[in-house]
Chains A and B, each alone.
Chain A
Amino acid sequence: MSTEYAHPEALVETEWLEQHLNEKGIRIIESNEDILLYDTGHIPGAVHIDWRADLQDPLIRDYISPEKFARLCGRHGITPETTCIFYGDKANWWACYALWAFRLFGHEKVKILNGGREKWKADGRKMTREVPNYPQSNYRVPPRRLDKEIRAFADEALAQSQAKKPLIDVRSPGEYKGEITHMAEYPQEGVLRGGHIPGAKSVPWKTATNDDSTFKSAPDLAKIYLEQCGLKPGTETVVYCRIGERSSHTWFVLTYLLGLESVRNYDGSWTEWGNKVGAPIERSGGS
């Protein structure tokens, strides 16, 4: 069993980032659930990307067009060659979501700050309210989104379930069992039914993190996902949660830390599946 992450270059530590804040060719991007958190203070030089206002289409439940993505990047001085280092609150849920969205548009150079905002703050590292202003860049409009490669839609999740291929439900055990339709401590987001997609295994996202919000070691992750959950390299795997942010976290773990090659994030997740006419569900049981 490897003691190294499959792609260790996909993570940076807080100490390293503090020493490279002004390095040319990187852009630090904060993405949070708390929509005003960036305004209260952020890593010096970091820009803010709002998971909804910046990445989602306002009228269709979908992501922005490649043209809008190019404009978003241009506004922050990002080019296709820029290394984007994402971090945020909630142990990097939304940072992983934003990273995954950048990958949807084919942006290659992406990294996560291990431990996210919580770790940076707990380390006592500098934060500022100064909003940086980078020269506008000219980001080439991506030719397409990588929907087929890293994103799953409801019909594909159904096919995955019917083919008994790996489906990972990363929500809390209560949500998985159908006892609750939302995370504890969160408002109900309009889901009519509780439960999980038939055949899905329960591996809550938090299983992959330490108490300080950093990722667990490669051997620990391999034990959880490869040994206990039975995931295999090369096998198509679909992950989901409620709106796709917690599953982005697990998608990052499986894709970059464990090196699984065919992992897709079903971003419609339970807010779609739990309301969808004709979608089968299971309650309790499972694994």
Chain B
Amino acid sequence: MHPVKLQSIIDLFDHLPEVERRETLVAYSDSAPKQAPRPNEKFDLEDIRKDEECADTVGVYLQVDEEGKAHFRMTLGPEVQTLTRAMAAILCKGLDGATPQEILDLPQDFVTRIVGADLVRVRSQTTYYVLSRIKAICKVYLDRQRAKQIA
């Protein structure tokens, strides 16, 4: 079971022919800069780093609202590959409003349904990278919440 917004994106890609899939991924990649934090936005957690799995720095920003729903922003260095940019935009939109626990429990098999088997190859394993970073920040958030409750 995927969050509703993510499910609608998966459904869209499920029915796209290969050429339109590529075009849609490029369109998402083009829109990735719009996911950057706005001035004066406040976040519960920020995780900006450069990992070996990715060609450039990726920043993930998490804000959890009063209803416990997650909202994400992301920053991407100039060397980040197109597919990774596309996944950043897709996941910021698709996971918006899900709870951190729902995101942590999300199986990663939906990634191939979006990207398509032809584009998932060894050198593009970074398609999973953005999801792993989002899950990582959710885990830190939940761990801290649990620690607070115990204290």
A residues sitting closer than 8 Å to B (CB atoms) are 33-37, 39-40, 52-53, 184-187, 189-190
Which 8 residue pairs are nearest across A and B when measured between Cβ atoms? A36-B82, A187-B125, A34-B81, A39-B26, A189-B122, A187-B53, A34-B82, A39-B22
Residues of chain B with a CB closer than 8 A to A187's CB = 52-53, 122-123, 125-126
Other-chain residue from B25, B53, B54 in contact with A36 (beta carbon distance below 8 A) = B25
Instruction: Give the shortest distance, in Å, between B139 (CB) and chain A (any CB).
Output: 21
Residues of chain A with a CB closer than 8 A to B25's CB = 36, 39
From A36, A39, A185, residue with most partner B Cβ within 10 Å: A36
CA distance A41 to B53 in the complex (A): 25
| Residue contact B55 to A36, C-beta cutoff 8 Å | no
B residues sitting closer than 8 Å to A (CB atoms) are 22-23, 25-26, 29-30, 52-55, 81-83, 86, 118-119, 121-126
Starting from the known contacts A36-B83, A37-B81, A53-B118, 16 additional A-B residue pairs (CB-CB under 8 Å) come to: A33-B81, A34-B83, A35-B82, A35-B83, A36-B22, A36-B25, A36-B29, A36-B119, A39-B22, A39-B25, A39-B26, A40-B29, A185-B53, A185-B55, A186-B52, A187-B122
| Residue contact B52 to A184, C-beta cutoff 8 Å | yes
| Residue contact B123 to A186, C-beta cutoff 8 Å | yes
Other-chain residue from A33, A36, A39, A40 in contact with B123 (beta carbon distance below 8 A) = A33
Residues of chain A with a CB closer than 8 A to B124's CB = 35
Instruction: Give the shortest distance, in Å, between B105 (CB) and chain A (any CB).
Output: 24
Instruction: Give the shortest distance, in Å, between B17 (CB) and chain A (any CB).
Output: 14
| Residue contact A185 to B54, C-beta cutoff 8 Å | yes
CA distance A186 to B52 in the complex (A): 6
Residues of chain A with a CB closer than 8 A to B83's CB = 34-36
CA distance A210 to B126 in the complex (A): 28
